[in-house]
């Protein structure tokens, strides 16, 4: 069936419902958008919650937004947990699978019906509403229209995994226009819904890109408290942000509440244990992630491998393009690509020092992303002998580079923080969570950046961090790595495995509440506290 016909059928009254009922409803779905496992499991999950919710005190009126089938799976279970704690939850879904492709109307309506059936067992504990059934506002305030345009550009960058979106390129323009259309609809629909229903709090995964970013912006525009969340590499942990996107990693509240507290020896040892695991290319804690693919070889061996001489070493640590943690983080550069380009061109003329560019090992996992190594080679077709590019797959350990560096340059990567923990000066060039904390040098313009480079390179020893600055970097690292994440039973990755360990009934039991109840309170807007 061609796309034109599918669009036509998608517009006919009851045609979609009839086709879905007769041909689709009870068949195994071949579509990537598949909630059958959730549909089979949800009645039992709801049954576990019913007697608990009946005894729970009345809580808040929560609007919980989710899109993409994997977020919808998880949000359905989280919604039940919140209902079990007494909250009145509306789960608002957009039944998309591909955010970067325009689907025909028949397919899209069938997905909406599949979502309706899969989530029907939530009733009456949780109300489910489809975005596609909402009547959107007729227009948008200028500020929200500007938000739609910004998020749509980030969506294109995220999808293309490059910072350059060429509006004269038909495929780039088509992607941007698609995101503009979808985000515009999302903004108008969310605006109308929130104005009419007035939730106490809006709960949103990510809160930066796609419709998730738009729903956050609408809540912010209306002054409705919003909580966003994401996950790090550790199981049974969640990142939370209140009234900001979690992907921006605003840690001001953490600094104000925790970083003035003293560090104990046990805290130092815990940070050191984590750093040693990363240095040794070992997994740590409840994570399966390797931060390095080769263990430390030592400073001398690394110097020999890279053919470094006695001149000072400047290490530039790059991020992976396409990660939503890097979007919207520019300060004086228009992009990380521009920053790297101008930086390597500056150092091409500075033969008195050696520049080592560490391409993020994570590029190995996203080969479709534009490599920062490519950016360097575009900037310098002939790379001078005093500039060294360490590729994602090269057998060099980043922590050996930290050890031999006399100066670190970072955009948003935590390597900048870890370099400061070594007492080495770091120039922070992107809006990263550790910038402005007192242990980095923070230029705000290109003129300041170049002047800072000249000043620091002229006297590297005097710019070594003081003992108190280094200690503060360690204090901040402890808070960020161990107090910023909160205990939580179900990560997005390995969600169904986590449900085996922490079924809903167990999470809502005294044992589960001891571990997770505070986090669920933070999820609905209670101010952050620490035990």
Query: In the predicted model, what is the mean pLDDT of residues 467-487?
Result: 98
The answer as to whether 347 is a domain residue is yes
Give strand pairing partners of 526.
none
Pairing of strands 486-487, 237-242: antiparallel
Number of DSSP helices (H) and strands (E) in the chain, helices first: 20, 12
Q: What is the model's pLDDT at position 129?
A: 96
Distance from C-alpha of 386 to C-alpha of 356, rounded to nearest angstrom? 8
CA separation (Å) from 237 to 77, 81, 268, 287, 504?
16, 16, 21, 10, 16
Express each pLDDT in 33-76 by its tens digit: 899 999 999 999 999 999 999 999 999 999 999 999 999 999 99
Pairing of strands 313-317, 237-242: unpaired
Distance from C-alpha of 355 to C-alpha of 389, rounded to nearest angstrom? 8
Number of domains within the chain:
1
148 in Cβ contact with 183 (< 8 Å): yes
Distance from C-alpha of 150 to C-alpha of 245, rounded to nearest angstrom? 14
CA separation (Å) from 47 to 75, 88, 168?
17, 17, 54
Distance from C-alpha of 527 to C-alpha of 145, rounded to nearest angstrom? 30
If one counts every other C-beta atom within 10 angstroms of the C-beta of residue 511, the result is: 11
The answer as to whether 19 is a domain residue is no
Q: What is the model's pLDDT at position 250?
A: 96
Q: What is the model's pLDDT at position 82?
A: 98
List, in order, residues 6 or more apart from 173 with CB less than 8 Å away. 166, 167
> H or E stretch including 53?
helix 36-55
- pLDDT of residue 8 exceeding 60, the answer is no
232 in Cβ contact with 435 (< 8 Å): no
Express each pLDDT in 180-195 by its tens digit: 999 999 999 999 999 9
Task: Give me the torsion for CA of 336, 339, 341, 345, rounded to 10°.
Answer: -160
Q: What is the model's pLDDT at position 4?
A: 63
Overall residue count recorded for the chain in this entry: 531
Q: Which of 457, 417, 452, 421 is nearest to 436 (CA)?
A: 417
Dihedral sign for Cα atoms in the order 358, 361, 364, 370:
negative
List, in order, residues 6 or more apart from 381 with CB less than 8 Å away. none
Q: What is the model's pLDDT at position 424?
A: 98
The answer as to whether 249 is a domain residue is no
User: Which DSSP state fits 476?
Assistant: H
State the average pLDDT for the chain. Answer: 92
* pLDDT band, residue 21 (cuts 50/70/90): low
Query: In the predicted model, what is the mean pLDDT of residues 143-171?
Result: 95
Express each pLDDT in 334-382 by its tens digit: 999 999 999 999 999 999 999 999 998 777 767 677 788 888 999 999 9
Q: What is the model's pLDDT at position 15?
A: 57
- pLDDT of residue 7 exceeding 60, the answer is no
The b/e string for 273-303 (b: 16+ C-beta within 10 A; e otherwise) is: ebbebbbebeebbeeeebbbebebeeeeebb
292 in Cβ contact with 399 (< 8 Å): yes
Distance from C-alpha of 169 to C-alpha of 331, rounded to nearest angstrom? 27
Distance from C-alpha of 71 to C-alpha of 40, rounded to nearest angstrom? 17
Query: How many Å from the N-terminal Cα to the C-terminal Cα in the chain?
Result: 59
Domain that holds residue 343: 267-483
Where residue 375 sits, what CATH number does that domain have?
A: 3.40.50.2000
Q: Which of 221, 223, 260, 228 is nearest to 245 (CA)?
A: 228
The torsion angles phi and psi of 229, rounded to 5 degrees, stand at -150, 155
Pairing of strands 313-317, 354-358: parallel
Distance from C-alpha of 397 to C-alpha of 118, rounded to nearest angstrom? 47
Express each pLDDT in 195-254 by its tens digit: 999 999 999 999 999 999 999 999 999 999 999 999 999 999 999 999 999 999 999 999
Task: Give me the torsion for CA of 407, 412, 417, 423, rounded to 10°.
Answer: 10
């Amino acid at each position: 069936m061609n796309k034109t016909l599918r669009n036509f059928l998608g517009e006919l009254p009851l045609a979609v419902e009839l086709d879905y009922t007769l041909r689709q409803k009870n068949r195994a779905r071949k579509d990537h958008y598949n909630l059958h496992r959730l549909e089979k499991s949800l009645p039992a999950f709801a049954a576990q919650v019913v007697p608990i919710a009946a005894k729970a005190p009345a809580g808040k009126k929560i609007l919980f937004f989710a899109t993409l089938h994997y977020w919808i799976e998880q949000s359905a279970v989280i919604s039940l947990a919140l209902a079990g704690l007494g909250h009145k939850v509306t789960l608002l879904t957009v039944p998309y699978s591909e955010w970067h492709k325009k689907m025909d109307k028949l397919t899209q309506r069938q997905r909406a019906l599949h979502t309706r059936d899969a989530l029907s067992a939530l009733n009456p504990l949780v109300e489910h509403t489809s975005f596609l059934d909402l009547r959107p506002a007729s227009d948008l305030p200028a500020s929200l229209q500007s938000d739609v345009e910004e998020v749509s550009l980030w969506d294109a960058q995220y999808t293309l995994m490059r910072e350059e979106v060429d509006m004269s390129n038909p495929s780039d323009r088509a992607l941007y226009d698609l995101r503009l259309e979808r985000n515009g609809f999302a903004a108008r629909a969310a605006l109308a819904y929130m104005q009419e229903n007035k939730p106490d709090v809006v709960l949103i995964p990510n809160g930066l890109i796609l419709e998730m970013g738009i729903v956050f912006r609408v809540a912010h525009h209306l002054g409705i408290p919003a909580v966003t969340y994401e996950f790090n590499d550790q199981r049974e942990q969640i990142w939370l942000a209140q009234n900001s996107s979690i992907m921006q990693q605003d840690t001001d509240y953490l600094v104000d509440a925790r970083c003035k507290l003293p560090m104990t020896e046990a805290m130092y040892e815990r940070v050191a244990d984590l750093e040693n695991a990363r240095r040794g290319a070992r997994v740590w804690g409840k994570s399966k992630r390797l931060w390095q693919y080769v263990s430390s070889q030592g400073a001398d061996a690394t110097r020999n491998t890279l053919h470094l001489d006695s001149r000072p070493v400047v290490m530039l640590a790059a991020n992976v393009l396409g990660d939503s943690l890097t979007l919207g983080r520019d300060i004086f550069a228009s992009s990380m690509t521009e920053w790297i380009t101008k930086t390597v061109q500056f150092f091409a003329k500075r033969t008195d020092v050696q520049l080592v560019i560490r391409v993020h090992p994570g590029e190995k996992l996203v080969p479709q992303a534009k490599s920062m190594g490519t950016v360097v080679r575009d900037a310098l077709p002939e790379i001078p002998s005093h500039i060294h590019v360490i590729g994602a797959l090269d057998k060099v350990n980043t922590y050996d580079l930290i050890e031999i560096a006399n100066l670190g340059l970072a955009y948003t990567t935590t390597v900048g923080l870890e370099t400061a923990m070594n007492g080495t000066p770091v120039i922070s060039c992107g809006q990263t969570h550790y910038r402005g904390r007192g242990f980095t040098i923070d230029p705000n313009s290109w003129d300041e950046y170049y002047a800072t480079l000249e000043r620091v390179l002229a006297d590297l020893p005097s710019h070594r961090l003081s003992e108190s600055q280094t200690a503060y970097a360690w204090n901040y690292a402890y808070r960020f790595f161990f107090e910023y994440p909160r205990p939580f039973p179900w990560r997005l990755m390995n969600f169904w495995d986590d449900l085996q360990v922490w079924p809903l009934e167990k999470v809502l039991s005294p044992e589960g509440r001891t571990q997770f109840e505070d986090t669920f309170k933070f999820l609905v807007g209670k101010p952050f506290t620490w035990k």
